[in-house]
Amino acid sequence: MEESLIIDYEERLREAMLIGDVNSLDNLINDNLIFVNHFGQILTKEADIEAHRSGVLNFIDIKILDQKVILLGNSAVTVTRAALKGIFGIEPIEGEMCYSRVWQMNGDKLTIVSGHCSSVQK
């Protein structure tokens, strides 16, 4: 596995989140996903995708500020700091978040199996 492949998939994820492309999100996220959001809530793949499908989560901009990739055989860990703008429900979202994700290659399919998000305090 190459770092450039992981960066490409991270960009696919960013684009899918920006436009609410639930089909792409479905392909990028493993069925067994465990995601911990910045509130400490544990979300499944379906809960994550449903937020985009329903329009509860709507991103206007996601700007990558920094990204690190650690390759681990058929898996990789990414740590990404991003500036976000959008709406969650009726509440505006604006600020920096730090995401860590575990990507795993199964056959020829690369998906996110785990993730975590924290707000960045300035």
What are 6-32's pLDDT values in tens digits? 999 999 999 999 999 999 999 999 999
1 pLDDT band, cuts 50/70/90, is: confident
C-alpha–C-alpha distance, residues 34 and 36, integer Å: 7
Residue 95 and residue 88 in contact, taking contact as beta carbons nearer than 8 Å: no
Q: How far is CA 70 from its chain centroid?
A: 16
pLDDT score recorded for residue 31? 97
Q: Structure pTM? A: 0.93
Asked if the model's pLDDT at residue 122 lies above 80, the reply is no
Run of H or E residues at 115: strand 109-119
- Which tokens hold the place of 89? 């429900």
pLDDT tens sequence across 26-50 = 999 999 999 998 889 999 999 999 9
Q: Which residue has the tokens 């999100």?
A: 25
What's the mean pLDDT when you consider all of the chain? Answer: 95
